[in-house]
Structure 1
Amino acid sequence: HACVIQLPFNQKVRNNPDFFLRVIAENASCCYSMLKAKNPGFTLGNRGASGMFPSEAAEWLCYHAFTVKLSNHKVVYKCLLKPLKFCHWGCFKTGALAVLCHMVTVLANL
């Protein structure tokens, strides 16, 4: 959000929503890669909700975080919120949320 506020030449999010959606999608992938790099001894899982922390769960968390943050600034991000919610629910349908809820339950019982 801080970067968008400082866009040069009076650029607006609504002028190029595809760019911002790509940045958000790449952010999810980047966060998952960093998570794997910081936890080399753990099998985090790949696509298909396998392993301790599947990539779909990382995607869901990223889309959820962006949806929550950008919802606080609906006037600026209106054009991104609907596609983000679609991506968010797409991750939900893959079962990533179920895996994530299971992980939270397991961690809470440790």
Structure 2
Amino acid sequence: MEDLSEQILSLECDPSRANAVYNSQNEAYREGHAAALIQAADAVDTAPDPALAAINFALTLGCETANFLDRWIDADFETIREVWPNAPEELYAGADPLFEPASAA
């Protein structure tokens, strides 16, 4: 989630077009703010949802569901990797600060 927060906080309103396109600087700020809000919403929509991935995976585990979810809630990702090596990457992305996607390795 930290990456998503950083993405949203780095969005900038661009008032530089105030005199060229807009009638006033206030109008330019409003337009820039609206564009930044739209970009933020898009970033949220495409962000990974590790909790949903963890729940979906846990539901496939039968009697191990509660044990797995306890480990995930406690952020015991090392144990999860050892006990459930087939767990999908999506449940780590955004939840495990040490997570490195296989594609980045």
Give the TM-score, by structure 1 length: 0.32
Give the TM-score, by structure 2 length: 0.33
**Larger radius of gyration between Structure 1 and Structure 2:** 2
More helix by share: 1
